[in-house]
Structure 1
Amino acid sequence: MLAARTIRTAARINTLTPLILARGLAASHLSSLTDAIKHDHRELETYFSNILNAKDNDTKVRWQNQLVWELSRHAVGEELVVYPAMDKYISNGTAVADKDRAAHQKVKIILQDFQAMDPSDPQFEPTLKTIIADLKQHIQDEELHDIPLLEKALANNLVESAELAKSFERTKMFTPTRSHPAAPNKPPFETAVGLMTAPMDKIRDMFAKFPREDTLGRRVPENAT
């Protein structure tokens, strides 16, 4: 009963935040898992740059919230869809997936501190740069080694790669939008905790500032003003 109510709540709140469905899920047209992952990585790099180059604190806060929103969803999406696929299709895939989960956990811990920081905090920029450095290494590992290994294993099953890309994008619609490093990072427990946590995160998103859509041109919570 509680689980059913939680799922209904998550679905209902998801219609209010965060993806603008009129944009048709910016990455939904991507034909492979590699394309979907790289698409997210390039967006995250843009958000990092926009925070560092912002001229005022209001702009920094907007891009800070956008970064936390996207990075949190991306991490959980990978943990629920991509890493189980590594376990299934790659020889020694469990070790590869566990390495990537450990990298996520390191970033999540720092991101939890960062998401509560005001841009006037002296630790704001150093904390952001720590996240950038850690995530840069993780992105390189995924794009140059881990995801190519998975795609190679799926070379004779391109339909599965496309389906994983779609599943990755769909899953992110129901994941938490803030960092929760104490939560499980493997299904099925991550799925259950995520369904309970996501509605609370998305309520917070309704009262947070995000970049205006005309300055973003990509995915953004609907409450962006």
Structure 2
Amino acid sequence: MEHEADLIEELIADHREIDGLFEQFDERPPGCIERKLLLEALTIELVRHAVAEEMHLYPAVREHLENGAPRADYEIAEHSSIEERLKDLEGRDAEDRDLDRLVRELRTEVRAHVEDEERHLFPQLRDGAPPFVLAQLGQKARTAKNATLPRGHPRAPGIAPLNEILAPGVGLVDRVREQATNRGHPVTS
């Protein structure tokens, strides 16, 4: 029988995937269109990950950790800051002189957030929440991520709903968040 990742393992796997996208971005030469595509993929993954944490991790932090509510609020504020950086990057061309600096700043902020979660928050939650709860939340996070957006590189804009997310109009960050949270769509039972 194959082991399914619990919530913490699932989120750590996301962290590694996000770090890999940053590395791929760094490997491409400045001005290269692939960098813009990687930045779009990174944006999608960061927002998906943030939504998964906001839907499943932070409610568990509130419930299972002493003083969990202020900690969850702090983490959500960090997400807002990261999303603002992503929004600033949205309108930038691959040739933009500030692109490298802005991506470095984003990566620094994301790394600090990830390090804090992995060194402090995740061990506290592992000690505070029953394993079956973390396993259930891991399944819920996987289901939510898989149901909202296809993983992978945004080079295939003909694949729904990715074509809607990359369509012009509202910014990418807002479109991904809207799709991931099903905002604006009627709830079906």
**Cα offset, 1:146, TM superposition:** 0.8
Residue 116 (structure 2) aligns with: 141
Residue 171 (structure 1) aligns with: 144
Alignment map for 1:66-81 (pairs within 5 Å): 66-81=41-56
SS in 2 for 1:179: helix
Residue 35 (structure 1) aligns with: 9
Taking the aligned partners of 2:83 and 2:178, their CA distance within structure 1 comes to 17
Residue 12 (structure 1) aligns with: none
Residue 153 (structure 2) aligns with: none
8 Å Cα contact 2:48/2:180 also seen in 1:
no
Taking the aligned partners of 2:63 and 2:16, their CA distance within structure 1 comes to 27
Taking the aligned partners of 2:42 and 2:131, their CA distance within structure 1 comes to 31
TM (normalized to structure 2)? 0.76
Q: Which ranges in structure 2 are unaligned for 5 or more consecutive residues? A: 150-160, 166-171
Aligned residues: 161
Residue 52 (structure 1) aligns with: 26
Taking the aligned partners of 1:30 and 1:133, their CA distance within structure 2 comes to 30
TM (normalized to structure 1)? 0.65
**Cα offset, 1:115, TM superposition:** 2.4
Alignment RMSD: 2.6
- CA displacement, residues 20-62 of structure 1 (integer Å, 9 cap, x when unaligned): xxxxxxxx95432221111000111110111111136122122
Residue 120 (structure 1) aligns with: 95
Taking the aligned partners of 1:197 and 1:61, their CA distance within structure 2 comes to 28
Q: Which ranges in structure 1 are unaligned for 5 or more consecutive residues? A: 1-27, 181-189, 199-225
8 Å Cα contact 1:80/1:191 also seen in 2:
no
- CA displacement, residues 87-124 of structure 1 (integer Å, 9 cap, x when unaligned): 11111110111111111111010101112321101111
Residue 151 (structure 1) aligns with: 126
**Cα offset, 1:191, TM superposition:** 8.4
Equivalent position amino acid for 1:119 in 2: A
Percent of pairs with identical residues: 25
1:162 aligns with 2:135: yes
Taking the aligned partners of 1:34 and 1:144, their CA distance within structure 2 comes to 12
1:194 to 170, 173, 181: 181
Equivalent position amino acid for 1:89 in 2: H
SS in 2 for 1:118: coil
Equivalent position amino acid for 2:28 in 1: A
8 Å Cα contact 1:89/1:150 also seen in 2:
yes
Residue 109 (structure 1) aligns with: 84
